[in-house]
Chain A
Amino acid sequence: MREKILKIIFWLAVLYVIVPIMMPIIYSFSEAWTGLIPKGFTLDWYKIIFSNPNYQPSLILSLFVASSATLLNIVLTVPAAYAVNRLRGKLAIFLEDTFKILPLIFPPLIVGLGLLQAFTSPPLAISGTTTAVIIAHALLGLPFMFRNVYASLKTIDERTLSEAASSLGANLWQRMRYVIIPNIIPGILSGSLLVFAISFGEFEVTSMVAGFGSQTLPLILFQEMRNNFRIASAITAILVYVSLTAFMIIVYIGSKVQKGYKV
């Protein structure tokens, strides 16, 4: 009996997650949807999106921004998590908390305003550029990358594994290449996925720091919602497809990197 209830709750939860994602996808393929069941199958909405010069560049821009924000986090946040894990004492705890919590307690609106201010004053007058959007997105994704990488460093007891590897003759580069990175790659990848997804769907902060030349897909989507709901649905569907593809690529990379070496 209890098991049955748990099962029902589980499937309700699955529906709760799946339905909002599926609705626009189904909608985007249908000619009309007035009753309970959508009618007709069409690719017209996608054709419109891919032929309209307004949408295509923004899709490419969104992909570029999300990839860059992810890459930026891999290059900067992974070493930062590694370094913090290496520290001992009060400083370590302070830095850990800073990286993990600070960016979360400020809502996007505040972060956006802060960045807007930073980006308009002389040393960093990049407001409205794609670079500004990338930096903003990287910042929004940072705590997620940090959390994931830091947690995997802790679970594998990176310090001891590194010591074991160095007592077996491995230098810093070899320890990273064969021991540390393969063992924290799940953390790096799940972090990357989150950063990518956050960036790809980000609206609030983007709407503040983006200019005419840096209109990402969500910004276009927002405009389209008022004009043509069907096209908006197709855009949403595209957001879902890209995120799913990114997810699969990341799982694939993970399975490749994690393997040991050949004996």
Chain B
Amino acid sequence: MKALVVKDLHKSFGNVRAVVGFTLEMEEGEFVTLLGPSGCGKTTVLRTVAGFEKADKGEIYIFGKLSNDIPPEKRDVGMVFQNYALFPNMTVAQNIAFSMMIRKEPQDKIKKRVGELLELVQLSGLENRYPHQLSGGQMQRVALARALAKNPKILLLDEPLSALDAKVRQQLRGEIRKLQMKLGITTLFVTHDQEEALTMSDRIVVMKDGVIQQIGSPRQIYDDPINPFVAHFVGTSSFLEGEMLDGKIFIWKDERFEVRKSKVKNGKALMVLRPTHLKMVKDEENVPDGSNVMKGRVSLVTFLGSVVRVHVMIKEEEILVEMPSEDFWGFKEGDEVIVYFSPDFPLVFPKEQNIQ
């Protein structure tokens, strides 16, 4: 049985169409991320699944049960909010135990479970603190433990990390994913941070203006974006505007590139180049046969830790090239360089598909 099925969901606020024809099926234990720019309808989908918003049209099935008319307090879902939403008048332990107190579970059972959950989110010893005595990261851990306390069938997280510092965010990212895999809990996660989506998810749903653009594994989304918007939003890319000829040759300014993956046969087209697909050398003789070649001048070198990103000006356009730091051997700003790429890599889309 599917853990969650959202079928043709529509939701408008006044004349704002927040979600349009959203359909998603989730397997049990899966971690799915809704990814897209702010205002694209991610939160609305999540809130409809949680029961806080009523669908205008479409159905929500939670483990096979049609849930459209089930109020939030009766749905088997746990929710974590961006601003934590901890109860300020309650201690950490009282916050976590809230759902069990509501269900009138016996005191000793509640105590034991709170202890387990505190250990799970690594907060043992803080049970008597109040939320205002905790750091952001600690508060979000409490919120997570609180949502897990009722053993929900589905866990919903709405940008839970975006209010935290970069360091804490990275750490919690890994922790949430490990916890999720350990518990095997079906999780629907919302973020506008592509890195978060790529690192945490089994599958990603990329959205724009309330409409799903693409659903796929992080690898699929990155390597094989379905349109320029997805290519632009997920990962870094350079875009070249040109023209396709016979579905094989891409003409850009006075260059001709051979390409193998084009969605256009003839006419105006947009080529997507990932920085990692491009290679850079000083002399032409080092370029493998059959590569597409461009000449340019280095305008900026940025060191990103494990990789070095080089901005190269080619025919008045800036193109990004990335290479592992250990393969980088001293290009400087102003150097004349040769950039090349295999015909297998670039994707070519029809021009009318915009990156915005």
List A residues at the B interface (Cβ < 8 Å).
156-157, 160-161, 163-171, 174, 178-179, 182-183, 258-261, 263
Contact = CB atoms under 8 A, between A and B. Distances in A.
Nearest to A171: B73
B146 to A, nearest CB: 7
Contact of A160 (B74, B85, B94): B85
B210 to A, nearest CB: 20
Contact of B98 (A156, A163, A170): A170
Given A167-B72, A169-B73, A161 B85 contact: yes
Given A165-B98, A166-B72, A168-B146, A260 B78 contact: no
A156 B103 CA distance: 25
A185 to B, nearest CB: 9
Contacts of A160: 81, 83, 85
Interface string B46-81: 000011100000000000000000011111011101
B88 A156 contact: yes
Given A168-B99, A169-B103, A169-B150, A263 B110 contact: yes
B147 interface: yes
A126 to B, nearest CB: 41
A174 B74 CA distance: 14
List the 8 shortest-distance A-B pairs measured between CB atoms, nearest first: A260-B90, A164-B85, A260-B94, A168-B99, A167-B79, A166-B72, A182-B89, A166-B73
A166 B74 CA distance: 8
Contacts of B75: 167
A168 B101 CA distance: 10
9 contacts: A164-B79, A164-B81, A168-B98, A168-B99, A169-B73, A260-B87, A260-B90, A260-B94, A263-B110
B2 interface: no
B111 interface: yes
B93 interface: yes
Given A160-B85, A161-B85, A167 B77 contact: yes
B97 A167 contact: no
A246 to B, nearest CB: 23
Contacts of A174: 102
Contacts of B71: 166
Do most interface residues of chain A lie in helix, strand or loop, or is the interface mixed? helix
Interface of B: 50-52, 71-75, 77-79, 81, 83, 85-91, 93-94, 97-99, 101-103, 107, 110-111, 114, 146-147, 149-150
A239 B63 CA distance: 65
A32 B243 CA distance: 106
Contacts of B83: 157, 160
B89 A260 contact: yes
Contacts of B101: 178, 261, 263
Nearest to A175: B73
Name the residue among B51, B71, B93, B102 with the largest chain A CB count within 10 angstroms. B102
B99 A183 contact: no
Given A259-B89, A261-B94, A167 B111 contact: no
A263 B94 contact: yes
Contacts of A258: 89
Contacts of A182: 89
Name the residue among B77, B90, B98 with the largest chain A CB count within 10 angstroms. B98
A164 B89 CA distance: 14
Contacts of B102: 168-170, 174
Contact of A167 (B73, B91, B94): B73
Contacts of A263: 91, 93-94, 97, 101, 107, 110-111, 114
Nearest to A181: B89
A253 to B, nearest CB: 14
Nearest to B128: A263
Nearest to B89: A182
A183 B85 contact: no
A170 B94 CA distance: 14
Name the residue among A163, A183, A260 with the largest chain B CB count within 10 angstroms. A260
Contacts of A168: 73, 78, 98-99, 102, 146-147, 149-150
Contacts of A178: 87, 98, 101
Contact of A170 (B73, B89, B90): B73
Name the residue among A156, A165, A182, A183 with the largest chain B CB count within 10 angstroms. A165
A261 B94 CA distance: 7
A42 B237 CA distance: 91
A167 to B, nearest CB: 4
B14 to A, nearest CB: 9
A114 B111 CA distance: 59
Contacts of B77: 167
A97 to B, nearest CB: 22
A183 B89 contact: yes
A57 B51 CA distance: 56
Contact of A165 (B87, B91, B114): B87
A167 B147 contact: yes
A76 B85 CA distance: 28
A171 B102 CA distance: 9
Contacts of B73: 166-171
